[in-house]
Structure 1
Amino acid sequence: MQGFQHPSFYEPQRRNVQRVDHSKGRETVKMIALNIGILKQKKWLAASAAGLFLFFLLLTFPSAPSSYTSGTSTSTSGSSRADNAVEISTKKISYDKTTPPTVGCESIVIAQQQLLISEYTKILKDIRYVNIWGYLETENKGDAAIWVAQQILLNMLGITTMEVCRYVDRDCDIEKFAGALKEHEHSAIVIAGGGNTNDFYWDDVPSRFKMMAKFPDVPVRSFPQSIYFTKPDKLNQTLTNYGAHPDLQLCARDRPSFDFLEEHFKPQGIDTRLTPDIAFMFGDRHDIRLNTPKKWDILILARDDWEVTKGAESELKEGEGTLTLPTGRTVTYKKIDWKKIPTGGINDEGHKELGKNQRAYAKAMDGFALLASSRFVITDRLHGHIMTTVLGVPHVLLDSKLKKNLNYHGTWTEECGCVRVVDDMGEAMGMAGMFFEVAENRA
């Protein structure tokens, strides 16, 4: 299977501007000032020192401090703006319920993308060809984004995807799968990323047991996963089967999952890693946010399954309409679970798109377009949060029953200014009201 290369995969990313450490600059200035005092009797040396002082002053106190500070931005100017940025970043701004989310989180998005590249350069060292285990064909735009992001990374590392399967005994030409691995010496099996390494959806984990048993001599790697086990018997079964493979690496996408791997899987001889979710391989996509016409004030991207928490439940029915926020403001909204939205252009009668990469790309781009079509997003989907962060759209995040939303947020995105964590829909609406009030006052 040829790796699909869309031009937008490789568009230049905005430079990750690093703010100057002003404390070091101030110490330099103090030292120079001291030298001037010592040499004040020598006018010609004093003049030189004064010139040097001005030179260092210009270097260490730029007139336009960068706003790329831990994903936050401020509205003040000059040095006070930089100082505010430092203060806000240490507060983990996304828990602040006294201020609304703002636009953008570019520095953190780019940092996570770069970390993924760095870590997988090591994880996939000497691997040139891979078979993917775990392709999932659904309308869940988050699953599609995961698939596309995996291909972005593999293509960037010069690795070719050959065959794809999810099960050994169905929907898979396992002989073709095995033949591709045998044909290429520098090959491996890579488990797709996502949130299905748990004992609730007991489907993908057992399928990996069979895959590992069938290919004991092939290296097995994984893209980032959420790990969640509550049943000792299934955990022990997983440890036994995973531990039997001699060359297995597992990657967690949040700290609690990584800690669980370290405690239970690492003693089995399994290499464990922690990286951001693979969807951050899209990098900063503020261009989609800026170029997408706005259709609604608020998008409510809400789960419609057993993972919905009590706090995320709402009497607001799916569809479009208007609602009144606690501030009294009336806004337009759309409420939907994106797995219910058919992706256009790939299932036309007589012209069905068959390519896995092409289908996933179309779905992922529909997901980004949906999120970018509103001024404010409320979501309890992890990739609703991740993709909205990639876009830089202001939003609020509620947790799911598997805790993967806040586990991820607490590991990687809690300093993003574009998100606020809320406990229930009442708080979400209150935060939306605050957002629109602030936006109006700034207009």
Structure 2
Amino acid sequence: METQSRLALIARLEAAIHECLKDHVPAEEPLAILDFPDIRNCGDSAIWLGEMAYLAARHGKRPAYVSRLDDFSARQLERAMPSGPIFIHGGGNFGDIWGAHQDFRERVLELFPDRPVVQLPQSIHYQSPERIEQSARAIGRHRNFTLLVRDEESKAFADRNFDCAIKLCPDMAFAIGPVEPAEPTLPVLAMLRVDREKAGDADLSAWPDLPVEDWITESPRSVQASKAFGAASALLSLKPAELRLAKLDAAAHNRFRRGIKQISRGRTIVTDRLHVHICSLLIGRPHAVLDNSYGKVRRFMAAFSGGTDLSYQAKSLGDGIAWARQVAGDIAGKAAA
């Protein structure tokens, strides 16, 4: 995929994000974003930074209130913004795989029945019919809920089950824009999930020399230091909400930089993580893509990001590794010529 085509794809998806969100961000009112991802997964931090980048670039705004799952306060939100919409962080936790996030989402709908609530782009997956019914009741009771989804299957599911406004929208990480990578040090790097969304236990014995990693390992000391630096940069502000946002933003930047540095080491990449795919597009690195446990990666690529020369939808792990090795060899050969 030529650089210009990659840049065009990123620009097109950012424009599509704006089309979905432009009418939901009021010029004169404050807004909140809830469920900050204070977790090790670099992909969730990429989504958060895309959300911040979109608000700043398109609307010149910063949220008046942000929270994590465990420090949310309805009273503090009301105090920080007596009016205005509430946004919920995007990702892949709409459903019952990651139940705490769904419980929180439905609690927000119950607490703020008269506020506009916008769910930023999500992939949907449920295993329990009872949990679908519970979510449908919570959504149906709310007067002004907008659900943005990242793939056609999620939209079809939401159309069948939920009584709310539903839109198809790209992942918010594309609002970050192109990212400059570091120089590669490995021909092929495998970035494979080790959590509950992994597609299965991969047998890697046939490739003993292949570096296999995930990007959910981090240094707590580094995260705490980044939060402290963020807090120090906001000390001139007397508003607790701005101090909190500066700390959380700094943590997200720290995680995102770590993730970009990690995947940049591969001249080519093999992955089953959606945001390794998205970040590989942002840095312009060829990569073979496997699906996660429930089709999230395949579904997103079908809706928005498939069909480029930079990404190859592998039929199996072996197929993906063979493709990545071939491409890495071709790149090295051209560089040596």
Residues 103, 417 of structure 1: 8 Å contact kept: no
Give distance in 1, aligned partners of 2:273 and 2:229.
29
Q: Does 2:197 match 1:297? A: no
Q: Does 2:96 match 1:199? A: yes
Give distance in 1, aligned partners of 2:226 and 2:78.
33
Secondary structure of the residue aligned to 1:402 is coil
Give distance in 2, aligned partners of 1:382 and 1:350.
26
Stretch of structure 1 that moved more, 242-251 or 225-234: 225-234
Give distance in 2, aligned partners of 1:181 and 1:202.
28
Secondary structure of the residue aligned to 1:222 is strand
Alignment counterpart, residue 347 of structure 1, candidates 224, 227, 233: 224
Matched letter for residue 335 of structure 1: V
In the alignment, which residue of structure 2 is the partner of 1:414?
306
Task: Return the offset for 1:293.
Answer: 2.5
Secondary structure of the residue aligned to 1:347 is helix
Secondary structure of the residue aligned to 1:226 is strand
Q: Does 2:147 match 1:147? A: no
Task: Return the offset for 1:261.
Answer: 1.6
Give distance in 2, aligned partners of 1:343 and 1:128.
36
In the alignment, which residue of structure 2 is the partner of 1:372?
264
Residues 343, 362 of structure 1: 8 Å contact kept: no
In the alignment, which residue of structure 2 is the partner of 1:253?
150
Matched letter for residue 300 of structure 2: Y
In the alignment, which residue of structure 1 is the partner of 2:238?
none
In the TM superposition, what whole-angstrom CA distance separates every residue of 1:266-314 from its partner, at most 9, and x where no partner exists?
A: xx2x1111111000001122xx13xx1322222211111222113x713
The 5 A counterparts of 1:205-220 are: 205-220=102-117
In the alignment, which residue of structure 1 is the partner of 2:173?
279
In the TM superposition, what whole-angstrom CA distance separates every residue of 1:361-387 from its partner, at most 9, and x where no partner exists?
A: 121122112222220111111101011
Q: Which ranges of structure 1 fall in alignment gaps of 5 or more residues?
A: 1-71, 74-101, 324-332
Task: Return the offset for 1:222.
Answer: 1.8
Identify if the C-alpha distance between structure 1 residues 244 and 147 changes in structure 2 by more than 3 Å, giving closer, same or farther. Answer: same
Give distance in 2, aligned partners of 1:123 and 1:334.
44
Give distance in 1, aligned partners of 2:278 and 2:331.
23
Secondary structure of the residue aligned to 2:66 is strand
Task: Return the offset for 1:239.
Answer: 0.4
In the TM superposition, what whole-angstrom CA distance separates every residue of 1:345-403 from its partner, at most 9, and x where no partner exists?
A: 44349956550011101211221122222201111111010111111100000001121
Give distance in 1, aligned partners of 2:128 and 2:30.
36
TM-score (norm 1): 0.67
TM-score (norm 2): 0.87
Residues 103, 418 of structure 1: 8 Å contact kept: no
Give distance in 1, aligned partners of 2:186 and 2:220.
20
Q: Does 2:165 match 1:165? A: no
In the alignment, which residue of structure 1 is the partner of 2:213?
336
Task: Return the offset for 1:121.
Answer: 1.2
In the alignment, which residue of structure 2 is the partner of 1:356?
248
The 5 A counterparts of 1:179-194 are: 179-182=79-82, 185=83, 187-194=84-91
Matched letter for residue 277 of structure 1: D
Give distance in 2, aligned partners of 1:316 and 1:164.
45
Q: Which ranges of structure 2 fall in alignment gaps of 5 or more residues?
A: 232-246
Residues 94, 122 of structure 2: 8 Å contact kept: yes
Give distance in 2, aligned partners of 1:340 and 1:316.
23
Give distance in 2, aligned partners of 1:420 and 1:296.
19
Residues 104, 393 of structure 1: 8 Å contact kept: no
In the alignment, which residue of structure 1 is the partner of 2:331?
439
Matched letter for residue 51 of structure 2: Q
